[in-house]
Amino acid sequence: MGDVTPVVLRRRLQELRYRMAAACARSGRDPASVRLVAVSKTMPASIVRAALEAGQDLFGENRVQEARAKIADTGPGAHWHLIGHLQTNKARQAVGLFELIHSVDDAALAIELDRRAGLAEIVQPVLLQANLAREETKHGADEPGLESLAETVARLRHLDLRGLMIIPPPAVDAESSRPWFQRLRAASDRLARHLGRPLPEISMGMSHDFEVAIEEGATLIRVGRAVFGDRS
């Protein structure tokens, strides 16, 4: 990781933002409507601080325990999202630690997050994780389950439902992800109408397909390798 310097990170981030802006232009969107979540899992706090110095201030972590130590070591200026699977027994540690939890995948987790947020006297913003392909190896709700889960979360006083997240099936190229992104955007629109409230965030797209995700409406893209390089 010795070559991940502020200079290298600044160059990679500039390239990413150029590609993000081009994708926005192709789809008639304002570049300010899309935020980059730099996936910093396994990266030490020193690398996160280098990314901060290079101008990136929003980071995504997969594990609560790793994130807690890293957040403390990184210091002020960074904003943190939880993008990995959250076990119900880790809800207490996650509440208030992250500005947004992307991975609420069932009612039991939502209810426990709401309880913990209530005890902390805060409102925790969350996204619902969708598993539209019903992959057994992934967490998340299928299309019918999303409506029920959204209704549950919308009733909880200490959760703020902000939108949806997806990790699509493995794809041979970026275009293969497009149908899943289109389906998530359509599901988001339907749920917003059903609930009678806006769902402004759509979290989708990673290093290999974020441009397609932006073209299909992503507001948050989760990019690791294109920012930090190969984790090996």
The answer as to whether 95 is a domain residue is yes
Residue 25 Ramachandran class (φ > 0 left, ψ -120 to 50 alpha, else beta):
alpha
CATH of the domain at 141: 3.20.20.10
Q: Structural domain of residue 136, as residue ranges?
A: 6-227
Question: What 3-state DSSP class applies to 137?
Answer: coil
The answer as to whether 232 is a domain residue is no
- How many independent structural domains does the chain possess? 1
The answer as to whether 1 is a domain residue is no
Distance CA 158, CA 125 (A): 9
The answer as to whether 177 is a domain residue is yes
Give residue-wise pLDDT tens across range 187-202.
Answer: 999 999 999 999 999 9
**What tokens appear for 189 in the block?**
């629109």
Total-model pTM: 0.96
Query: Who contacts 72 (Cβ-Cβ below 8 Å, separation ≥6)?
Result: none
The answer as to whether 33 is a domain residue is yes
Give residue-wise pLDDT tens across range 156-178.
Answer: 999 999 999 999 999 889 999 99
